[in-house]
Amino acid sequence: MYVAVKGGEAAIANAHSLLADRRRGDRSVPALRLDQIVEQLALGVDRVMSEGSLYDRELAALAIVQARGDLIEAIFLVRAYRTTLPRFGYSKAIDTAAMLVERRVSATYKDLPGGQLLGPTFDYTHRLLDPELAAGGDVAEPLQRETDAQAMPRVSAILAREGLIEPDGEMPRDNVPGDITREPLEFPMARDIRLQALSRGDEGFLLALGYSTQRGYARNHPFVGEIRIGEVELELDVPELPFAVPLGTVRVTECQMVNQFKGSAKAPPQFTRGYGLVFGQSERKAMAMALCDRALRASELGEDVVAAAQDEEFVISHSDNVQATGFVEHLKLPHYVDFQAELDLVRRMRAEYDARENPVKAEDKREAAE
């Protein structure tokens, strides 16, 4: 659209050149390497992978460099690249109960089978700037203990043994989940489709909606049943083989929220679930996703829909930051014809208004124009 502007093509080429110069910055400062970003800005990389729907740390790091640190632009780049990749099939559903856990916490039970693991977390830091990081000093190796083979059942499984929590969700029909990257969205949504949209939704948007549910806008009082972060194995069923083929491991964050439910005509009083699962380490996003998931189940559970976080079409239609960015930022593209039409309309309406309010002055203007 900018090509219509005088000198448009040359201006665009120069803008690209200037962007590359700003991205590189001072030539006396060493250029960033992708391995530095992957290792030292890992949470930013994880967000780009999660909201870009592509698990590849190096590609996410490259996108962050190309976008000059703008994570939404980086997510856009990753999604665009993702559309060029071939699809070989669908992996089996991951088993997070068999996760190689690095962090596991629960707000519902102090003593859990398998124990609680704090892992790498900001939760207990003082949020004070550390000047020593600027000096780039050595960091001591963390203390580690030998792991045992004790199982780590989910908190929801503990409640399920007493019949105090709703059953886990059913698999989609024919065990084939929907795919929002290949099929247009239709409302109302099946829960598996909705969870896909939430998983790659904008963290800030979901966080704000999750916060709203805690401030009385969805009558939702949750407990963090469990958050676990770690590696899970991916497997693919190959028709020619009698067993699933392991493809490797991915790092994920899973959150299960436990919510009170007073019961209905079809269900007894029990706890209900809110679920969140994202790539990498992003427990804030997983928690916000779980809060929104539970709020969006209001109609399913016979609850009144009274808040924005419970409105499926509102939440899902506005949670995608790539779509939102495109629509908002298109406003800076040329709209010359549209604006001229509105400018002419406003001038005519203003003239009609002036004629009604001050007919003498309007007549003088007409005579002067003649």
Token output for 61 = 């790091």
Q: How much is the pLDDT for 59?
A: 98
87: confidence class by pLDDT, cuts 50, 70, 90: confident
Of 72, 314, 75, nearest to 209 (Cα)? 314
Q: Label each residue of 60-109 as H, E or C.
A: HHHHHHHCCCCHHHHHHHHHHHHCCCCCCCCCCCCCHHHCEEEEEECCCC
Q: Where are the domains of the chain?
A: 9-82, 96-119+148-326, 336-369
pLDDT at 6 over 80: no
Lowest mean pLDDT among 275-279, 337-341, 358-362: 358-362
pLDDT at 221 over 90: no
Q: How much is the pLDDT for 310?
A: 97
Phi, psi dihedral angles at 257 (to 5 degrees): -90, 140
Q: How much is the pLDDT for 362?
A: 62
The pTM (predicted TM-score) of the whole model is 0.91
| % of the chain surpassing 70 pLDDT | 92
pLDDT (tens digit per residue) in 27-55: 999 999 999 999 999 999 999 999 999 99
pLDDT at 245 over 90: yes
Q: Which carries the bigger pLDDT value, residue 169 or residue 112?
A: 112
pLDDT (tens digit per residue) in 232-243: 999 999 989 999
Q: Report helix, strand or coil for 16.
A: helix
- Host H or E run for residue 253: strand 244-261
Question: What does the pLDDT average to over 192-210?
Answer: 96
174: confidence class by pLDDT, cuts 50, 70, 90: low
Q: Is the dihedral of CA 127, 130, 136, 139 positive or negative?
A: negative
pLDDT at 345 over 70: yes
Q: How much is the pLDDT for 36?
A: 97
